[in-house]
């Protein structure tokens, strides 16, 4: 009988870890878009909100937790993808989806590609914003509004962000509902609702960030 | 009907194989898919060539012995049927049909379209049994179980162990097969004694056999001749969690 820690190495333990970390990252993104829409309320509200977040003493442990969740998600999904490839050493000459009730989609078939793109995106994104230039407002808080407007005045940055948001939308199109199935959450009543809400959430999250990006770009174009 | 067949030929377990093209010129739409292959084989034997090896037994969708990937779909294009129940009227004159064996590391090719599925037997041997002696058939009403639950268990028990779920899965995962067996026994009073041990041992065995993990796509459910749903896989995950917490 395997011991408890070894249980997390099994194919089901892996599913549980990937589903759990994936779901937490999904929840984080919901909070993240919630905060970011404040940009529409003007520089004062936006900077005030970000200062409120950054001055909270809990932010450091939360950031460390977030990084750990990421690392587990990345390690487990990459290792699992490699293992899964090894499980079929000889490919089919011809392979087709069998159709409904299968949930297979372009999104579900490219999770590792969208995931690795997101890894690249997140590194660049964190470097640009978190570790970017430290502008200050007149009231002495960090002027993230100015930083955001500056970054999104550059068309190359805007295009990179728009692509990345389509990628995150794709990752979540399959991932959001899949995470709950991985955790064993399933019922005749709830599964259809979860599948639908996952897709709606994916579109709202990706769409929300796209609107912010395009809006910020148009603001820059006007001034 | 005249058909062009592209069939995987492989002389033995550890030799290279390849798709070989055959013309099937006298196919009746009333033939079953396997009868069509029988006729092709008669032609090959007459010419003194090696017949195409493929598995079958009951030829009525109940034994789980047959299994071919037809044009990229395990058991072919029809839902809820095995390849022995597929008929040639499903194809058109002049069609090209690609026929391949189940592809998985854990299902090595024995010859042509025949694969070794004994990995499934070893998964069952690891825990898919009830060791209490049940005696003769008991009075059905004496078993404390509701109709809904017993029907769920029966739906899971419908698995014929053909391996199409593994063949369809992009990860060659055995999760649907295992989860059907685990659900079947976990839902019944007779299965309670080994309930925790069973799920852990079967999962450990499947992982050791080299089957992959589950990405929740559900291709397995779509090709399953018994239409066993992936809700069984979620139940297996819950069973696993419950077992790990208890041991
Ligand atoms: C914003 C960041 C990310 C979010 C919100 C996220 C979210 C998710 C979610 C919810 C799932 C579904 C979990 C499941 O099916 O159990 C998932 C799966 C997956 N993630 Fe991510 N993820 C992110 C970043 C990444 C990164 C950086 C990688 C890089 C390798 C990655 C690779 C994968 C893969 C390969 C899967 C599919 C696993 C499978 O086949 O079942 N993800 N992700
Ligand atoms: S030969 Fe028995 S199920 Fe097809």
The ipTM (two decimal places) reads 0.92
% of chain A exceeding 90 in pLDDT: 88
Q: In sequence order, which ranges of A37-131 are alpha helices (DSSP H)? A: 43-54, 59-86, 106-109, 111-128
Does the C-beta of B213 come closer than 6 Å to ligand 1? no
- pLDDT at position A4 is 63
Copy the structure tokens of residue B82: 């095995």
- Alpha-carbon distance B188 to B38, whole Å? 42
The answer to whether the CB of A3 falls within 8 A of the CB of A166 is: no
Question: Are residues A102 and B6, on separate chains, in Cβ contact within 8 Å?
Answer: no
pLDDT of residue A3: 60
Q: How far apart are CA B130 and CA B148, in angstroms?
A: 21
Q: Which fold has domain B118-246?
A: Fumarate Reductase Iron-sulfur Protein; Chain B, domain 2 (1.10.1060)
pLDDT score of A5: 56
Q: What does the pLDDT read at residue B245?
A: 86
Q: Which residues of chain B neighbour A2 with C-beta distances below 8 Å?
A: 200, 204
Interchain CB distance below 8 Å, A86 and B213: no
Place of tokens 């090709």: B223
Average pLDDT of chain B to the nearest whole number: 95
Ranges for all domains in chain B classified under CATH 3.10.20.30:
3-110
Two tokens at A17?
A: 């870890």
**pLDDT value at A221 more than 70:** no
> How many Å lie between the centroid of ligand 1 and the Cα of residue A83?
16
Distance, in Å, from the CA atom of B33 to the CA atom of B31, rounded to the nearest integer, reads 6
Please give the Cα distance from B79 to A83 (Å, whole number). Answer: 30
pLDDT on residue A2 = 55
Place of tokens 């825990």: B127
**Region of residue B218 (left: phi > 0; alpha: psi -120 to 50; beta: else):** left
User: Average pLDDT of chain A?
Assistant: 94
Chain B residues closer than 8 Å to A89 by CB: 105
For residue B67, the CA-to-ligand 2 centroid distance in Å is 8
Q: B171 and A184: CB-CB below 8 Å? A: no
Q: Count Cα atoms within 13 angstroms, Cβ side, for B145.
A: 20
State in Å: Cα B5 to ligand 1 middle.
40
Q: How far apart (Å, rounded) are the C-alpha atoms in residues B162 and A177?
A: 29
Q: Which CATH number applies to A4-88+106-222?
A: 1.20.1300.10
Record the tokens describing residue B11, joined without a space: 């002389």
What average pLDDT does the segment A79-93 reach?
97
- B5 three-class SS: strand
At residue A140, the pLDDT reads 87
Q: How far apart are CA B44 and CA B174, in angstroms?
A: 35
User: What totals of helices (H) and strands (E) does chain B contain, helices first?
Assistant: 8, 7
- Assess whether the C-beta atom of A22 lies below 6 angstroms from ligand 1: yes
CB contact under 8 A, A11 and B203: yes
pLDDT band at B184 (very low <50, low <70, confident <90, very high): very high
Residue B195, min C-alpha distance to chain A (Å): 13
CA A13 to chain centre: 22
Beta-bridged to residue B74, according to DSSP, are B69
Selection from B222, B121, B207 nearest residue B172 by Cα: B207
Q: Which atom of ligand 2 is nearest to the CA of B82?
A: 4
Buried b (16+ CB within 10 A) or exposed e, B14-30: eeebeeeebebeebeee
Q: What are the start and end residues of each CATH 1.10.1060.10 domain in chain B?
A: 118-246
Q: Which helix (H) or strand (E) holds B4?
A: strand B3-9
User: Structure tokens of A143?
Assistant: 């002027």
B40-88 per-position pLDDT tens digit: 999 999 999 999 999 999 999 999 999 999 999 999 999 999 999 999 9
Q: In what order do the strands lie in the sheet with B96-100?
A: B18-24, B3-9, B96-100, B69-70, B73-74
Position A223 scores a pLDDT of 54
Q: What is the pLDDT of residues A11-45, one digit of tens each?
A: 999 999 999 999 999 999 999 999 999 999 999 99
Chain A residues with CB-CB distance to B72 below 8 A: 92, 94-96
Q: Decide: B82 in ligand 2 pocket, CB within 6 A.
A: yes
Give the C-alpha distances (Å, rounded to integers) separating A102 from A36, A64, A211, B83, B229.
35, 37, 32, 19, 10
The DSSP call for residue A154 is S
Quickly list DSSP for A168-183. HHHHHHHHHHHHHHHT
Please say whether the beta carbons of B119 and B26 come within 8 A. no
> pLDDT: is A55 or B21 the higher one?
B21
Sorted by where each begins, the domain ranges of chain A are 4-88+106-222
Long-range contacts (CB closer than 8 Å, 24 or more residues apart) made by B12-17:
B12/B110, B12/B111, B13/B108, B13/B109, B13/B110, B13/B111, B13/B116, B17/B109, B17/B112
Pinpoint the alpha helices (H) of B92-229.
118-127, 147-157, 164-168, 175-186, 195-209, 219-223
Query: Cβ B212–A95 below 8 Å, yes or no?
Result: no
Going A68 to A69 to A70 to A73, the CA torsion angle's sign is positive
Distance CA B165, CA B176 (A): 6
Nearest alpha-carbon partner for A72 in A34, A120, A23: A23
pLDDT of A219 reads 86
CATH architecture label of B3-110: Roll (3.10)
Query: Contact at 8 Å (CB) between B228 and B176?
Result: yes
Of A14, A87, A102, the CB nearest to B104: A87
Mind listing the pLDDT tens digit for each residue in B121-162? 999 999 999 987 777 887 878 888 999 999 999 999 999 999
């Amino acid at each position: 009988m395997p011991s408890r820690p070894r249980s997390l190495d099994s194919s089901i333990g892996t599913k549980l870890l990937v589903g759990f970390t994936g779901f937490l990252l999904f929840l984080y993104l919901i909070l993240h878009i919630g905060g970011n829409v404040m940009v529409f309320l003007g520089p004062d509200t936006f900077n005030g909100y970000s200062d409120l977040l950054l001055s909270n003493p809990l932010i450091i442990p939360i950031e460390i937790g977030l990084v750990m969740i990421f690392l587990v998600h990345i390690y487990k999904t990459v290792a699992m993808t490699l293992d899964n490839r090894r499980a079929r050493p000889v490919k089919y000459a011809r392979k087709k989806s069998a159709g409904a009730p299968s949930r297979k989609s372009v999104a579900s078939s490219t999770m590792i590609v969208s995931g690795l793109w997101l890894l690249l995106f997140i590194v660049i994104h964190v470097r640009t914003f978190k570790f970017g230039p430290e502008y200050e407002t007149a009231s002495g808080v960090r002027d993230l509004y100015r930083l955001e407007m500056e970054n999104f005045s550059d068309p190359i940055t805007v295009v990179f962000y728009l692509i990345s948001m389509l990628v995150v939308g794709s990752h979540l199109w399959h991932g959001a509902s899949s995470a709950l199935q991985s955790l064993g959450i399933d019922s005749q009543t709830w599964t259809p609702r979860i599948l639908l809400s996952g897709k709606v959430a994916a579109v709202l999250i990706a769409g929300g960030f796209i609107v912010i990006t395009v809006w910020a770009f148009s603001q820059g174009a006007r001034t | 009907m005249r058909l062009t067949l592209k069939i995987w030929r492989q002389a033995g377990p550890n030799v290279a194989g390849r798709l070989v093209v055959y013309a099937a010129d006298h196919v009746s739409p009333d033939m079953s898919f396997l009868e069509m292959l029988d006729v092709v084989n008669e032609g090959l034997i007459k010419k003194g060539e090696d017949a195409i090896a493929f598995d079958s037994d009951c030829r009525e969708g109940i034994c789980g012995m047959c299994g071919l990937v037809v044009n990229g779909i395990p058991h072919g294009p029809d839902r809820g049927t095995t390849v022995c129940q597929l008929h040639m009227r499903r194809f058109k004159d002049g069609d090209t049909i690609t026929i391949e064996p189940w592809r998985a590391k854990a299902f090595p090719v024995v010859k042509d379209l025949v694969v070794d599925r004994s990995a499934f037997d070893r998964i069952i041997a690891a825990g898919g049994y009830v060791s209490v002696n049940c005696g003769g058939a008991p009075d059905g009403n004496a078993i404390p179980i509701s109709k809904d639950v017993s029907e769920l268990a029966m739906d899971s028990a419908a698995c014929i162990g053909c391996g199409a779920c593994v063949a369809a899965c992009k990860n060659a995962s055995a999760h649907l097969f295992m989860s059907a067996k685990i659900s079947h026994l976990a839902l019944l009073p007779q299965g309670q004694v080994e309930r925790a041990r069973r799920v852990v041992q079967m999962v450990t065995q499947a992982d050791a056999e080299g089957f992959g993990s589950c990405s929740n796509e559900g291709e397995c459910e779509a090709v399953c001749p018994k239409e066993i749903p992936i809700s069984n896989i979620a139940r297996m995950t819950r069973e696993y969690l419950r077992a790990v917490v208890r041991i």
